[in-house]
Amino acid sequence: MGGITDKITGKIKQAAGDITNDAALRREGLKEERKGEAKDELAKAHQHADEKAHEVADLERKTS
């Protein structure tokens, strides 16, 4: 959930930077958006790792 919040906030800061012609605010928005994307990717990787861990546990139970 944090990833989407960072992405939205980043987009808003980018737009505000564009409107006010503030390059620093626009850059800050880009960074925040990238941070949100990274959080989303990390969450997906965690989910994938959890799924694989469950698969391994199931296989261990079946072979025991």
Total domains in the chain come to 1
- Two tokens, residue 7: 């992405």
Expressed as residue numbers, the domain containing 45 is 2-63
Q: What span, in angstroms and rounded, lies between the C-alpha atoms of 37 and 55?
A: 27
Considering all CA atoms of the chain, what is the largest pairwise distance in Å, rounded to the nearest integer? 66
Q: What span, in angstroms and rounded, lies between the C-alpha atoms of 26 and 15?
A: 7
Q: Count other Cβ atoms within 10 Å, centred on residue 36.
A: 20
Mean pLDDT of 7-14: 97
pLDDT tens per residue, range 14-57: 999 999 999 999 999 999 999 999 999 999 999 999 999 999 99
pTM for this entry: 0.77
From the list 37, 41, 43, 49, the residue with the least C-alpha distance to 5 is 37
